[in-house]
Structure 1
Amino acid sequence: MSTIARPARAPAVPATLPELLAHRALTEPDRVALVAGDEQITFGAWQARAVAVAAGLRGLGLAAGDRVALHYGAAGWNDYAVAFAGVLRAGLVAVPVSDRLAPAEVRHVLTHSGATVVLGRSGLDGVRCMTLADLSGGTLPEPPGPRDLAQILYTSGTTGVPKGVGATHANLAHGCTLDPRRRPLAHSGHFLHAFPVGSNAGQTMLVNALNARAAALTAGTFTPGRFAKLIARHAVGTVFLVPAMAIELLHAGVHTTHDLSGVRLIGSTAAALPPAVAAQLAAAYPAATIVNYYTSTEAAPAQTAMVFDPERPAALGRPTVAADLMIAGPDRQPLPAGEVGDVWLRSPTAARSYYRDGDASAEVFHGRWVRMGDVGRLDADGYLYLVDRDSDVVKSGAHKVSTLQVEHALHEHPLVREAAAFGVPHPVLGAAVAAAVVTDGPLTAPQLRTFLLERLAGHELPGRLLFLDRLPRNDNGKILKRELRQLLDDDRATP
Structure 2
Amino acid sequence: MVLHAPPTTVPRLLADRSASEPDREALVVDGIGALTFGSWQRRAADLAEQLQQRRVAPGDRVGLRFGAAEWLDYAVAYVAVQRLGAVAVPISDDAAPAELAHMLADCGAVGLVHAGGAPDWPGGWTHAADDGAGSQCGEDRSTPHSLAQILYTSGTTARPKGVAASHANVTYGSGARHRPFRHSRHLLHAFAIGTNAAQIMLMNALLAHPAVVTLPQFTPLRFARAIARWSAGTVFVVPAMAMELLTVADGHDLSSVRLLGSAAAPLPGPVAARLVAAFPNATIVNYYTSTEAAPAQTAMAYDPERPDSVGRPIAGGGVRVIDDGRPCAPGEIGAVWMRSPAPTRTYFGDTATSATAFQDGWVRMGDVGYLDADGYLYLVERDSDLVKTGAHRVSTLQIEAAIHEHPAVADAAVVGLPHEVLGVELAAVIVVSGDAALTPTALRAFLADRLAPHEIPSRVHAMDKLPRNRGGKVDKRSLRRSLT
Q: Fold conserved (TM > 0.5)?
A: yes
The structural deviation recorded for 1:380 is: 1.3
**TM-aligned CA deviation for residue 315 of structure 1:** 1.1
Q: Aligned partners of 2:191, 2:316: CA distance in 1, in Å?
A: 29
Match of 1:188 in 2: 184
Map Cα deviations across residues 423-462 of structure 1 (whole Å, 9 max, x no partner): 1001112111111001121111111111111111121111
Aligned residue for 2:130, secondary structure, equals: helix
Moved more, 163-172 or 119-128: 119-128
Other structure's SS at 1:213 match:
coil
CA separation in 2, counterparts of 1:12 and 1:116?
33
CA distance in 1, matches of 2:176, 2:281: 30
> Residue 142 of structure 1: CA displacement?
4.3
- The number of residues matched between the two structures is 477
CA displacement 1:215-254 (0-9 Å, x = unmatched): 01011221011111111111111110000000000022x3
Q: Which amino acid aligns with 1:193?
A: H
**Separation in 2 of the partners of 1:367 and 1:220?**
40
Match of 1:459 in 2: 454
CA distance change for structure 1 residues 115 and 451 in 2, over 3 Å: closer, same or farther?
Answer: same
Question: 1:307, CA displacement in angstroms?
Answer: 0.6
1:402 pairs with 2:373: no
1:186 positional shift: 0.6
Higher mean C-alpha deviation, range 278-287 or range 143-152: 143-152
SS of equivalent residue, structure 2 residue 201: helix
The corresponding residue for 1:4 is none
Q: Distance in 2 between matches of 1:101 and 1:463?
A: 35
Cα shift at 1:140 = 3.8
Whether the 8 Å CA contact 2:368–2:383 is kept in 1: the answer is: yes
Change (3 A) 1:448 1:300: same
**8 Å contact kept, 2:265–2:473:** yes
| Counterpart for residue 110 of structure 2 | 116
Percent of aligned pairs with the same amino acid: 54
CA deviations 1:285-329 (Å, max 9, x no partner) are 120010000000000000001111111111111112687111111
Contact 2:188 2:227 in 1 (8 A): yes
1:33 maps to 2:26: yes
Q: CA deviation at 1:113?
A: 1.1
SS at match of 2:312: coil
| Residue 329 to residue 366, structure 1, CA distance change in 2 (3 Å) | same
Q: Structure 1 residues 264 and 60 mapped into 2: Cα distance closer, same or farther (>3 Å)?
A: same
Residue 417 of structure 1 pairs with residue 414 of structure 2: no
Residue pair 1:20, 1:178 contacting (<8 A) in 2 also: no
User: Contact between 2:111 and 2:125, CA under 8 Å: does it hold in 1?
Assistant: yes
Letter in 2 for 1:145: T
In the aligned structure 1, how far is the partner of 2:176 from the partner of 2:339?
25
Could you state the TM-score of these two structures normalised by the residue count of structure 1?
0.93
Closer, same or farther: CA 41–11 of 1 in aligned 2, 3 Å: same
- The match for 2:264 is 270
Tell me by how many angstroms 1:13 deviates.
6.0
Residue 367 of structure 2 is aligned with which of 374, 395, 402?
Answer: 374
Deviations 1:397-436 (A, max 9, x none): 2111111111011111111111100110011121111110
Q: Distance in 2 between matches of 1:335 and 1:383?
A: 13
Paired residues of 1:59 and 1:138 also in contact (CA < 8 A): no
Counterpart in 2 of 1:220? Answer: 216
Deviations 1:137-162 (A, max 9, x none): 68544432111011000011112210
User: What stretches of structure 2 of length at least 5 have no aligned partner?
Assistant: none
What is the CA deviation profile of residues 370-399 of structure 1, one whole-angstrom value per residue up to 9, with x for unaligned ones?
A: 000111111111111111111221111211
Q: What does residue 463 of structure 2 align with?
A: 468
Indicate the SS of the match to 2:148: strand
For 2:162 and 2:476, the matched residues in 1 are separated by: 22
The 1:448–1:482 alpha-carbon spacing in structure 2 relative to 1, beyond 3 Å, is same
Q: 1:77 to 1:321 in 2, by over 3 A?
A: closer
CA RMSD of aligned residues (A): 1.8
Match of 2:166 in 1: 168
CA contact (8 A) 1:59 1:137 kept: no
Contact 2:43 2:131 in 1 (8 A): no
Secondary structure (helix, strand or coil) at the match of 2:71 reads: helix
Instruction: Determine the structure 2 residue equivalent to 1:341.
Output: 334
Change (3 A) 1:132 1:321: closer
Answer yes or no: is the 8 Å Cα contact 1:75–1:220 preserved in 2: yes
Does 2:126 match 1:129?
A: yes
